Structure 1
């Protein structure tokens, strides 16, 4: 199946999608993007890490102001999970990217250097994802936009689909995390540990 290509969209290189629409149940439902770490919001840290991206889309039901201009969008219905968020974010890009970076907003130690390593590792593959010290894939990676278009499900199939199912047909490079790159903020204890 050939991916749909909108001829009106300008070609781009590397574009980013920040997933910030989770329920944050273990944080009492607080908006993770607005949590501060080292005087910056998690959303600003995620957006700043994508400094090399031509464009960034933030998928969230509500928006926290960012220092860098981004496009905010929400999947329909909201909170459809990472697959729905990723594909909604890709569809909202003004450019037709060659490579899409996707990251959860709660991974504040992902940096521009992380993205460069992921993009380098993706050469000759369909993408590359960060793996923690136990070898588990984290929600920080890059994907070839054409290959993503070839495996994307129809609209109904996007919601609540597990990300590993979407990515199963793709050849993905594993990029080992350096230091605390793979740490995510799921609980207040996680945040305290990062601050400590």
Structure 2
């Protein structure tokens, strides 16, 4: 299946509700880099999206219209966040982008490359130099619906377990794209 990058049907789910355990539990979406919050930077990555759902507390303001929602119970992990975000979409989507808010080097170009890479597949995810899949990808909505678990299995389910039966392309990151901010040292060294 080929995807027209300009066609409607690409929506984004931005995950901001993690525990940030290695950063004293702070809300990472409010951290600033170059005078902009991680939330603002991450929303720029969804420039081409018809709609964006932010899964996490609405504690950081944004100029872009987005829908804020929260998984129940909170801190349910990336699968709970992704599926809660998909459920909150107001428009039908053929492709769903998912991104963790702590990946400030992901751009709209990253998502364009991911959408191209997933043509004929169930999705595509960014991988780092070791081949480790990052929390940045694009999924075919129909494929996601096929593997979606019951609500009771969403909380703390590993993303790898949800996606195990899908045909996913792996897209090597360019430069710092696959780097995330998990510690205060990561924040300090984010451009290194």
Fold shared per TM-score above 0.5: yes
Tell me, yes or no, if structure 1 residue 178 matches structure 2 residue 170.
no
Structure 2 match to 1:161? 157
Structure-2-length-normalised TM-score: 0.94
Tell me, yes or no, if structure 1 residue 149 matches structure 2 residue 145.
yes
Tell me, yes or no, if structure 1 residue 31 matches structure 2 residue 27.
yes
Give SS of 2:121's match. coil
Between the aligned partners of 1:71 and 1:78, the Cα distance in structure 2 is 16
Between the aligned partners of 2:175 and 2:15, the Cα distance in structure 1 is 22
Structure 2 match to 1:14? 10
Which structure 2 residue ranges, 5 or more long, are not aligned?
1-7
Structure 2 match to 1:122? 118
Structure 2 match to 1:5? none
Tell me, yes or no, if structure 1 residue 57 matches structure 2 residue 53.
yes
Give SS of 1:194's match. coil
Structure 2 match to 1:8? none
1:195 to partner: Cα distance: 4.8
Structure 1 residue runs of 4+, over 6 Å off?
none
Between the aligned partners of 2:53 and 2:72, the Cα distance in structure 1 is 15
Which structure 1 residue ranges, 5 or more long, are not aligned?
1-11
Structure 1 match to 2:3? none
8 Å CA contact retained: 1:127, 1:172: yes
Aligned length: 185
C-alpha RMSD of matched pairs (Å): 0.9
Structure 2 match to 1:75? 71
Q: Pick which of 54-63 and 137-146 moved more.
A: 54-63
Tell me, yes or no, if structure 1 residue 95 matches structure 2 residue 98.
no
